[in-house]
Structure 1
C-alpha cells in the first residue's frame, strides 16, 4: 500500500508541469476586463464586437468593406438545366468594377419545382465550378488550379499547367450532391476559391482580391487568405440579395476543411448568413487548440503562412495556453443555427476537439434563449444531434459524403422550413 501511495504521489508530481501548461478555456460571457455579460443586449452591442475585433487583430486579419465599384454581370441563364430540374445562372462578380480586373464566377442552380424565393446553400469549391457537376454549360475556370499532388478525393489529371481542361467537368461531383439539394427545394450557389485569393505559396497575396488592398498587407493584422475567402462569401451574399429567385433571409454558408474555416469566419462576421455549416474544419476552424491534439498553430503558420494574419504567429507553441480559442468564434454565430461535423479517421482535425468547441459555445446559445448543443458527451458514430447547434461524427476520413449532406439538409429543413 505504501509503495502504491508513493507511486501515485510521484506520478502526481511528474504531471504537475503538464497541468501547469494548461489554461482554462476563456468564458465567452466574460469581457476582457473581467466583468460578466448580463444581458443579450450587452452580448450583441459590446461583447460580440469585442471578440470580433480581437480575432481580426490577432488571428484572421482585418477585411475590407464591400467594394463601392463592385458590379455583377449575369452572363448565362438556362431555365432548362439538368434536364429541366433547375435554372442555371452564372454571374461574373467584378470586384473593382473593371472587366479586366479580378473576377469571381458564381454558379447558381435554382430548383424549378419550387414556387417563389427558395432558401440556398452558399459555399466555395476546391477545383472550380466545372468540377461540381458535369453540366457542359458551366464556364471552365481560368484561375490557377491545384494539380500533381496525388489528391485522394479528386482526379486532377485533367489539369494541365495548373489550368483546368474540359476533362475536369464533374471531377468533384461526389462531394456536391446537386440533385439531392435541388430535390429538397434548396438552391446551390458556389464559386472557386482561387478566384478570390491564392492558396499557392508562390502566388499568395498577388492574385484575386489581395492586390486591390495593399494597405491591408505588410502589417500584423493583415488580410489573410482565410479571411479573404470569407470576404468572398459575403460578396456572393451581396449578389444573392439581388436575385428574386432566392430567399436571402434563408441562406446557409457551407465549407469543408480549410474552406470550412472560412465558412465559420464568414458566418461569424456576416450576420446575413442565417446558418453556418462548418465541415471538418479542424484547427483554426471548430476544434479547440487548448486540447493540444491534432494540427497546431505552428503548422498552420509555417505550412500555410498565408491563411492567417501575421500576428497569429505570436501564438505558436502556445496552443494550450491561449487566452482565446475557437469556441469563441463559434459563439459569434449565436443565436443562428450552426452545424459542426467530424470524421473518425480525420485525426488532424481532432474530432473530439471539434465537438468540444461546439459544446463550449453552447453556453452563449443558452444565454440567448436557444437550445445550444443537445449533448454533453460526444455522440457515437452515425448519430446526429441537432439543436440550435448540430453535430455528428461518421466513420471514414477527411471528405464530404452523402451521409454528411443527409444531415445537413435535415438540419436546414429543421430551421428553414418551420411552420
Structure 2
C-alpha cells in the first residue's frame, strides 16, 4: 500500500537578495543538469526503464489524469467561521481531514486534496470556476517558415466570450509528434522560436518539446500597482459575480484563481485542437508542463496544483505566496522583508485573506506546503537558490512513496540526479476506487 508523506526540513527560501540588497544570480547553472533530466524523463515518453531508484509504486500511481479535477464530486467541508478557527503551529497536517480523521493512503488523497483546494479557494484566492456552464471552441493553424503556429481558444459564458491566442512552437526535424508541451506563463507571444519562459534554452537542446504561450493578460491584466480595478478584464466579464483588486467592499477573488482557470481553458483548447480534422495540434496531452518565474512562478504553481492534466510544474523563484508557507514567512523573517500575508499583492489574492495578517496567520486552516502537495501525484520542480545565510532550502522533499515526484534543487542537491532518472511512459491505471471514509 502506497502512503503519502510530507517532510518539512528547512524553511523555504523567501527572497533572493544578499544582505546588502543586491539580487543573487539565478540558479540556472546549478539546476541545469537536473532540469534537463527531468524534462527528458517526465516530458519525453521513452520505453527505457532505470534501476537507479526504487520506484515500485509507479506501477499503479498515475502521473496525470484525463480531467481537470478527478475529485470534483467531493463536497467541500463546512469550515468554521474565523472566530472559531484554531491556532495551528508549526504547519497544518496535510493528511488530516476537516473532521479530524487522518489518512495517508493514496486512495484517500483525492478527497483530501479537494479539501485543501476548497480551503485555498475560500481563504486565499476565491473560487476557480469549473466552466461547466461554458462553451469552448478551439482551432489550430500550423507554423509557417516565418511565423509560429497559432492556437485560438474561445470560451463563452452568459453571452460573453474570452479569447486566448497562443503562439505554438513545433520542433522541426524531430518527427511528426505528438510532442510533449511546455506552457509558459508570459505577457505576450513573440518571435518565431520556442518560449521556455525564464528557463535556459540549453536545457531543451535536442529534446522534441513543443511550447505554447499562456498570455495571462488575455484572462486578467497584471497591474504594477495594487489594488487595481479588474472588473473590465475578460475573466471578470465572464464572471461578474467575482471581483479582484478594487471592488465594492472586500474582493472575493484573486487573480491566481483566474489565471489558473485560464491555463485550464488553454488545455481544454489543446485537447479540442488535437482532434481537429485538418492539421490537428500534434501535442501529447499526457506530457504537459507549466513554467513561470517570480509572480509567474506562483501562477505556474497554482495552475499545476489545480489541474491534474499537468504532468510537470516548474515554479521558478516563486517567492512568498508561492511555495513558501505563509507561517514560515511570518516566523523566520523580519516583518516587511519578505512577501507575506501582510504585504502581498491583493490583486493576486482575495481580500478575505487579509484577516490572516500578523499573528492571525496561524489560524489559516491550510498553508502552502499543502498547495505544493496538491500537485501530487504529478511532479513539481522548484529551482532554488541560496538565501543570504548560504543555507539551501527544501520545504517538501517527498509527497508520495516516490521521492522523484517532488524536487527542490539548490547547491546541496548536486549529485542526486538519480532521483530524476525515472521512466514515466508506463501506462497507468485510473485512480483506484476509494474505500469508505468517515462522514464529513
TM-score w.r.t. the length of structure 1 is 0.66
Separation of aligned partners in 1, 2:307 and 2:255: 17
Offset of residue 313 of structure 1 = 1.1
Gaps (5+ residues) in structure 2? Answer: 1-86, 275-280, 428-440
Deviations 1:175-203 (A, max 9, x none): 36568637311111112221111122544
Change (3 A) 1:25 1:387: farther
| Contact kept in structure 2, 1:374 and 1:385, CA below 8 Å | no
| Contact kept in structure 1, 2:197 and 2:293, CA below 8 Å | no
| Contact kept in structure 2, 1:62 and 1:221, CA below 8 Å | no
| Contact kept in structure 1, 2:379 and 2:406, CA below 8 Å | no
Larger RCO (CA within 8 A; separation ≥ 6)? 2
Offset of residue 289 of structure 1 = 2.1
Change (3 A) 1:417 1:110: farther
Larger CA Rg, structure 1 vs 2: 1
- Paired residue total: 317
Give the 5 Å matches for 1:20-419. 23-44=89-110, 46-66=111-131, 68-74=134-140, 76-80=141-145, 88-96=148-156, 101-115=161-175, 116-126=177-187, 128-130=188-190, 133=191, 135=192, 175=198, 181=204, 183-200=206-223, 201=226, 202-217=228-243, 222-242=252-272, 243=274, 244-291=281-328, 292=330, 293=333, 294-300=338-344, 304-318=345-359, 321=362, 322-344=364-386, 355-359=393-397, 362=398, 364-366=399-401, 371=404, 379-380=410-411, 383=414, 385=416, 414=422
Change (3 A) 1:188 1:51: same
Offset of residue 373 of structure 1 = 5.2
| Contact kept in structure 1, 2:198 and 2:292, CA below 8 Å | no
Offset of residue 241 of structure 1 = 1.6
The structure richer in helix per residue is 1
TM-score w.r.t. the length of structure 2 is 0.63
| Contact kept in structure 1, 2:126 and 2:252, CA below 8 Å | yes
Change (3 A) 1:179 1:38: closer
SS of the residue aligned with 1:357? coil
Separation of aligned partners in 1, 2:172 and 2:394: 40
After superposing the two structures, state which structure 1 stretch, 33-42 or 179-188, moved more. Answer: 179-188
Offset of residue 270 of structure 1 = 0.8
- Computed over aligned residues only, the root mean square deviation of the Cα atoms, in angstroms, reads 3.5
Deviations 1:251-288 (A, max 9, x none): 01112111111211111121011111111111111112
